[in-house]
């Protein structure tokens, strides 16, 4: 934004706010009011909670904080504070009904557009105010992905439609070699980067091999059909205990069909495309597959180095393909398609190391817990990231077909419990360099 003029920034923020709202409206207008207030899974909020929560965060940070205006509704803050009420308890709260929630988010948005119009967006407050708008755009888009996951859990006839993903041709090489060396991880410059992505810092990464693509349904089916879910040798102790307790037998939303499998994708029962990245596996399943395959999961620094480091310049890029924002040719993002795309579908999005589909398609589980980078400072509130540090979480990187470009970049860090399967998560495998390859 140092080079972006104030009016260009204003227009960009307004466009991104409108994009996010169009998606929230599409996801909530797709179902009737009964469906909006229903809890489709104890793991998720009713869609109407997400909608009003989006409006409430927007009110807190943009109307009250940036705008310094009077509250729109100060009586509902507690209902929409995610820390006050676990998801399972939210349907029992005296929530705004669908009509009230729609009215509320419109009223907040009208005020926010007025705040945006009048904000100088320059000088002393540019950084803080510009970030607050970016944070709220990303917040709405993150909840739009969460709402898409709720749609996947919803039963009943399908209500969402989208173009099928483009075809792909699997890359010739199954893995790439990334030599040892340090690279710049995280960012201090990206104006919309969240606190946990900051600051930029140097990290040494030992030489390793990384899969050029995420693990496909076909590859994963070989693990399933080869008895992988019945053999504790492949599973960690906690993974096996969870596999037993939850009676896992295949990825979530796979359905037995004779000797084979079908999948339920947003209510459509269909054959499983063999060449698409597997999705809806938890961390424990990803790790068991990797162990079965004689490999391991990548670490978070390995993933980010493969996605950003350009050996020709020694610089870290914003995205695998360069610094420019994602276009439809680069990555499967933004709910343009309602599934991952086949491997090799985005040759224009390949990283300098030769790795495909690091951004989009499926979030990738990594064998790293959630901590702050050296020099981390909580901003603008501890509850965004810091309170989760050191908890029972594994990192996820790259975004999925359900993630908007506004909430996607190679520094973006996501995290979840290692048992979570309703998110759009898959993985790829890595392995250590052979002794002769370690420099």
Binding interface with ligand AVJ (CB under 6 A)? 139, 142, 146, 414-415
Q: Are strands 394-397 and 363-365 parallel, antiparallel or unpaired?
A: antiparallel
To the nearest whole angstrom, how small is the minimum distance from the Cβ of residue 50 to ligand AVJ?
A: 9
Q: Smallest gap, in angstroms, from Cβ of residue 57 to ligand AVJ? A: 7
Nearest to ligand AVJ of 139, 295 (CB atom)? 139
What is the distance between the terminal CA atoms of the chain, rounded to a whole angstrom? 39
Residue (81 or 310) nearer to ligand AVJ, CB: 81
CB of 143 to ligand AVJ, least distance (A): 6
Residue 139 or 252: the one with the smaller Cβ distance to ligand AVJ is 139
Beta-bridge partners for 425 = 363
Residue 52's CB is within 10 A of a number of other CB atoms, namely 25
Least gap, CB of 415 to ligand AVJ (angstroms): 6
Which residue, 139 or 337, has its beta carbon nearer to ligand AVJ? 139
Min CB(130)–ligand AVJ separation in Å:
19
The SS3 call for residue 315 is strand
Calpha distance 15→25 (Å, rounded): 15
Tell which residue, 258, 255, 250, 252, has the closest CA to residue 221.
250
Among residues 184 and 414, whose Cβ is nearest to ligand AVJ? 414
**Closest separation between CB of residue 312 and ligand AVJ, Å?**
33
Of the candidates 432, 355, 362, 337, which has an alpha carbon nearest to the alpha carbon of residue 171? Answer: 355
Tokens 């810091």, residue located: 386
Tell me the closest approach of the beta carbon of residue 223 to ligand AVJ, in angstroms.
27
CB of 298 to ligand AVJ, least distance (A): 19
Which residue matches tokens 């119009």?
Answer: 117
Q: How far is the CB of 310 from ligand AVJ (least distance, A)?
A: 27
Cβ within 8 Å of residue 59, ≥6 positions away:
71, 72, 73, 108, 111
Residues β-bridged to residue 363? 425
**Looking at beta carbons only, is 368 or 414 nearer to ligand AVJ?**
414
Q: Given the complex with ligand AVJ, which of 217 and 400 has the nearer CB atom?
A: 400
Nearest CB to ligand AVJ, comparing residues 217 and 414: 414
Q: Which helix (H) or strand (E) holds 316?
A: strand 315-316
The SS3 of residue 145 is helix
Q: Which DSSP string do the residues of 85-96 spell out, in sequence order?
A: S-GGGGGGS-PP
Q: How far is CA 244 from CA 99, 133, 232, 248, 425, in A?
A: 43, 45, 10, 7, 21
Closer residue to ligand AVJ in complex, CB, 24/414: 414
360 Rama class: left (phi>0) / alpha (psi -120 to 50) / beta: left
Q: Which residue is nearest to ligand AVJ (CB)?
A: 142
């Amino acid at each position: 934004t140092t080079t972006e003029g104030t009016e260009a920034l204003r227009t960009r923020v307004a466009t991104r706010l409108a994009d996010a709202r169009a998606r929230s409206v599409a996801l909530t207008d797709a179902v009737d009011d009964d469906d909006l207030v229903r809890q489709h899974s104890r793991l998720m909020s009713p869609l109407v909670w997400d909608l009003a929560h989006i409006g409430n965060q927007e009110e807190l940070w943009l109307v009250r904080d940036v705008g310094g205006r009077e509250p729109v509704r100060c009586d509902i803050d507690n209902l929409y504070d995610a820390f006050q009420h676990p998801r399972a308890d939210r349907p029992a709260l005296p929530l705004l009904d669908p009509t009230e929630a729609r009215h509320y988010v419109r009223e907040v948005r009208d005020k926010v557009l007025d705040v945006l119009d009048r904000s100088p967006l320059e000088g002393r407050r540019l950084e803080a105010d510009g970030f607050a708008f970016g944070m709220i755009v990303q917040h709405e888009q993150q909840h739009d992905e969460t709402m898409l996951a709720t749609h996947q859990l919803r039963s009943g006839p399908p209500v969402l439609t989208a173009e099928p993903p483009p075809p792909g041709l699997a890359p010739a090489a199954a893995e790439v070699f990334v030599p040892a060396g340090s690279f710049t991880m995280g960012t201090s410059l990206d104006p919309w980067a969240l606190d946990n992505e900051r600051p930029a810092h140097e990290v040494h990464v030992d030489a390793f091999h990384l899969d050029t693509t995420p693990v496909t349904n076909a590859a994963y089916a070989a693990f399933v059909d080869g008895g992988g879910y019945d053999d504790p040798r492949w599973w960690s102790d906690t993974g096996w205990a969870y596999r037993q307790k939850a009676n896992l037998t295949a990825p979530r939303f796979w359905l037995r069909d004779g000797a084979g499998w079908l999948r339920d994708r947003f209510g459509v029962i269909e054959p499983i495309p063999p060449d698409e990245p597997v999705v809806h596996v938890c961390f424990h399943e990803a790790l068991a597959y990797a162990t079965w395959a004689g490999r391991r999961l990548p670490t978070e620094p390995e993933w980010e180095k493969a996605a950003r480091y350009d050996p020709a310049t020694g610089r870290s890029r914003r995205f695998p393909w360069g610094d420019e924002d994602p276009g439809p040719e680069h990555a499967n993002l933004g709910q343009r398609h309602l599934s991952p795309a086949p491997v090799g579908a985005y040759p224009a999005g390949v990283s300098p190391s030769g790795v495909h589909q690091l951004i989009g398609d499926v979030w990738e589980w990594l064998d790293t817990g959630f901590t702050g980078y050296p020099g981390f400072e909580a901003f603008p509130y501890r509850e965004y990231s810091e309170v989760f540090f050191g908890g029972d979480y594994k990192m996820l990187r790259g975004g999925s077909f359900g993630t908007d470009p506004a909430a996607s970049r190679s520094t973006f860090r996501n995290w979840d419990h290692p048992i979570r399967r309703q998110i759009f998560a898959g993985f790829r495998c890595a392995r250590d360099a052979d002794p002769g390859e370690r420099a």
